[in-house]
Chains A and B, each alone.
Chain A
Amino acid sequence: MTFMDLLLWARGPALVGAVAIFVFGMVLRLFEIYSLGRKPDLAPPRSGGPGSGWRTLWARSIPSKPFFKVSMLTYIAGYTFHLGFFVVLLLLAPHIMLIRSVTGLHWPNLPTPLIDLVAVITLLALIVTLVNRIMDPVKRFLSGVGDYVAWTVTFLPLLTGYMSYHHLLLDYTLMLAIHIMSVELLLIVFPFTKLTHMMSLFISRWFNGDWFARRGVAS
């Protein structure tokens, strides 16, 4: 098997398989969460209405001052790598080409050197979060294997993407294949780890906001 064969496998059957597992897993998880059900709230709502849930989606994204003071590093590194990850994912030209070929949607891209800089910052931010997780006794105590797996599969696509762009260590064709396969690993692992928060985060925030409004503390 040549490097090109591996790349073709990564762009072909492997990608189809990974996307299928990702979609299957995410739909399954959503149904599981939704079908858990809630008891009907018989009390009349005190305030708010549907708006509170939507407002909470945004309100919870802004760190509150006391929390920010206590966990500044978590907030800054966390925001940096999340934003950086999405900038790299959504604004690099080859990635837009991929999205366009699958969905037909496309938008302007950023210059590659800028994406390159963002990728480096994102990688550093991810390393900071890992070191912090290991050094901080509370975080270390709370972390399980799943957390480290989630970190690894998030880190690898960024690292291999950076390395393939700069032709580091391995032949570009092989590195590109490894990069695509690392993304496929992320897709496969995604629905079965805490990475599902990408979707459940918004559902739970909306639910909390809506529920609190019914109890008289609308955001």
Chain B
Amino acid sequence: MQDETLLDILKKRGVSRRAFLKFCAAATSLMALPPTMASAVAEALAKAKRPSVIWLSFQECTGCTESLTRSFSPTLESLIFDAISLDYHETLQAAAGTAAEAARETAMKENWGKYLLLVDGSVSTRGGGYYSTVAGKTNLETLKEAAAGAAAVVCIGTCSSFGGIPYAKPNPTGAVPVSDIVKDKPVIHVPGCPPIPAVITGVLVQYLTFGTIPDLDELGRPRSYYGDTIHDRCYRRPYYDQGKFAKSFDDEGARNGWCLFELGCKGPTTHNVCATTKWNQGTSFPIQSGHGCLGCSEPNFWDNGSFYQALSTPIDSVAAAAATAAVVGVAAGVGVGIANHHAKAKAKAEHETVTVNDLEK
């Protein structure tokens, strides 16, 4: 089983060569590689051996796993995912209890230094991390142990990449992103709440094809997927340019599909591929469904101001500060005025009349 290539496994599952090549072409374009690379990707991918993958779930909602597995119909993405040797995944594995933990330990031992570690969920650190434990072990311990033997760590979703919702104020569990714990291994961030399945598999495909990790941006996200903003690629962008905005979710502008900037859309500051790859096999994405982007693939998206407040508007109330400043200004103005009058009166009082005789002295 371990010697089988990816193509062998896909063939067994009834995937045609045409479908496989189509997937490779799509993956190549998603990775922002030239189209001529598609055949190279196909060749490398076809020969790729099943890499061992350990998936750890920490403080999360399982939405990331759902995103990948609950497709409307089984997609090639999910089959590719199935084809990797997923040695440990709490939600998907059949084993339970000590057997499950044993499977993880065996996989780690057998593939030490070579396996990919996928993590969804943030890591609790408060009080040693006892807020989140699996099989009596804190997430913090498990992560340190598993990361030590990993070739690379892929953070699936915003929680493991940037802390996500558990990290939001007041962060009762002392949650931190994986990159705060793992410092000595390459860490790839695939944020999103949840991330797009094609992006998750895209990163895996790149690793399988080239054995390298993708080019990352300053936040550790693959540039090929997170290089552009939602706003850059949004089909409603022309309405932004024309200055046509929906003012509420049920006005004429909303019905006409105008830009949702004024309703708080975070598209301009959010880097992701939702606007082009879309969700549910390319059916739609939030903006297409009439709701602004929440900015879920950005750090602290939960605390970045209201979802329904336009990006150009102030977060804090300006009026109270302005009123106080005006009152202080009036007081200071009156003070300066009085001082000026005093200075004037003093100068007047000290004024001595100069006579011709004085000048002649």
What residues of chain A have their CB less than 8 Å away from a CB belonging to chain B? Answer: 2, 4-5, 7-8, 11-13, 15-17, 19-32, 34-37, 93-95, 97-98, 100-102, 109-113, 167, 172-173, 176
Complex: A100 Cα to B245 Cα, angstroms = 14
Taking the nearest CB of chain A, how far is it from the CB of B256, in angstroms? 16
* A-B contacts besides A11-B313, A32-B333, A94-B261, 16 pairs, CB < 8 Å: A11-B314, A15-B315, A16-B316, A16-B318, A20-B322, A24-B328, A27-B329, A27-B330, A28-B336, A31-B332, A35-B338, A35-B341, A102-B319, A109-B243, A172-B268, A172-B269
B299 contacts the other chain (CB 8 A) = yes
Docked CA distance A112–B311 (Å): 16
The 8 Å CB contact of A102, one of B304, B309, B314, B330, is: B314
Partner of A2, one of B232, B299, B330: B299
**Contact assessment for B316 and A23 in the assembled complex, using a CB-CB cutoff below 8 Å:** no
Residue of B nearest to A164 (CB): B268
B300 on the A face (CB < 8 A) = yes
How many angstroms between the C-alpha atoms of A54 and B304 in the bound complex? 48
A98 vs B311: C-alpha distance in the bound complex, in angstroms? 9
B318 interface neighbour in A2, A15, A93, Cβ under 8 Å = A15
Closest 3 CB pairs of A and B: A31-B333, A35-B337, A27-B329
28 A-B residue pairs with CB within 8 Å = A8-B315, A11-B315, A13-B316, A16-B314, A16-B316, A19-B325, A20-B322, A20-B325, A22-B325, A26-B329, A28-B336, A29-B333, A31-B330, A32-B336, A35-B333, A35-B337, A35-B341, A93-B262, A94-B310, A94-B312, A95-B312, A97-B310, A97-B312, A102-B313, A111-B243, A112-B240, A112-B241, A112-B243
Cβ contacts B240-254/A at 8 Å (1 or 0 each): 111101000000000
- Is the beta-carbon distance between B316 and A31 smaller than 8 angstroms? no
Q: Give Cα distance in the complex from A98 to B312, angstroms.
A: 6
Query: B315 to chain A: which residues have CB within 8 Å?
Result: 8, 11-12, 15
Whether a CB of chain A sits under 8 angstroms from the CB of B160 is no
In the bound complex, CA of A97 to CA of B324 (Å): 24
Q: How far is the CB of A160 from chain B (nearest CB, A)?
A: 13
B134 at interface (Cβ–Cβ under 8 A)? no
Contact in complex: A8, B305 (CB < 8 Å): yes
Q: Which residue of A lies closest to B329 (CB)?
A: A27
Indicate whether B321 reaches chain A with its CB closer than 8 angstroms. yes
Asked whether any CB of chain A lies closer than 8 Å to the CB of B92, the reply is no
Contact with A along B312-355 (1 / 0, CB 8 A): 11111111011011101110111011101100000000000000
- CB neighbours (8 Å) of A20 from chain B are 321-322, 324-325
**C-alpha spacing A34/B312, complex, angstroms:** 36
Decide if B40 is an interface residue (CB 8 Å cutoff): no
**How many residue pairs bridge A and B at CB < 8 Å?**
131
User: Of A4, A31, A101, which contacts B337 at CB under 8 A?
Assistant: A31
Of all chain B residues, which has the CB nearest A180? B312
Q: Is B298 an interface residue (CB 8 A)?
A: yes
Complex CA gap A22/B243 in Å reads 30
Q: Tell me which residues across on chain B come within 8 A of A17, comparing CB atoms.
A: 321
User: In whole angstroms, how far apart are the Cα atoms of A216 and B327 in the complex?
Assistant: 40
How many B residues touch A, CB cutoff 8 Å?
A: 45
Enumerate chain B residues within 8 angstroms of A28, measured Cβ to Cβ.
Answer: 329, 332-333, 336
CA distance A79 to B346 in the complex (A): 44
Q: Is the CB of B312 within 8 A of A172?
A: no
Q: A15-B318, A25-B329, A172-B269 are in contact. Are A94 and B311 (CB under 8 A)?
A: yes
- Contacting A at CB under 8 A, from B259-284, are 261-262, 268-269
Q: Cβ of B122 < 8 Å from any Cβ of A?
A: no
Q: B329 to A112, Cβ gap below 8 A? A: no
Q: Quick one: given A28-B333, A112-B241, are A19 and B318 in contact (CB under 8 Å)?
A: yes
| Interface residue from B243, B268, B332, B337 paired with A176 (Cβ < 8 Å) | B268
What's the Cα separation between A71 and B355 when bound, in Å? Answer: 47
Q: How far is the CA of A26 from the CA of B300 in the complex (A)?
A: 37
Q: Which residue in chain B gives the minimum CB-CB distance to A103?
A: B319
Check A102/B334 contact, CB under 8 A, given A24-B326, A28-B329, A97-B312. Answer: no
Most buried by B among A11, A21, A95: A11
Nearest-neighbour CB distance to chain A for B73, whole angstroms, equals 37
Complex Cα gap A159–B81 (Å): 47
A residues in contact with B318, CB < 8 Å: 15-16, 19, 102
Task: Kindly list chain B residues whose C-beta atoms are within 8 Å of the C-beta of A34.
Answer: 337
Q: Kindly list chain B residues whose C-beta atoms are within 8 Å of the C-beta of A167.
A: 232
Question: Which residues of chain B have C-beta atoms less than 8 A from A94's C-beta?
Answer: 261, 310-312
In the complex the two chains form, what is the Cα distance from A36 to B318 in whole Å?
31
* Known contacts A31-B333, A32-B333; is-contact A21 B340 (Cβ 8 Å): no
Interface string of B205-241 (1 = CB under 8 A from A): 0000000000000010000000001011000000011
Closest chain B residue to A95, Cβ basis: B312
Contacts of A25 in B (CB 8 A): 329
Give bound CA distance, A12 to B305, whole Å: 10
A19-B321, A111-B243, A112-B242 are known contacts. Are A24 and B329 too (CB-CB below 8 A)?
yes
A4 touches B330 (CB 8 A): no
B residues less than 8 Å from A172 (CB atoms): 229, 231, 268-269
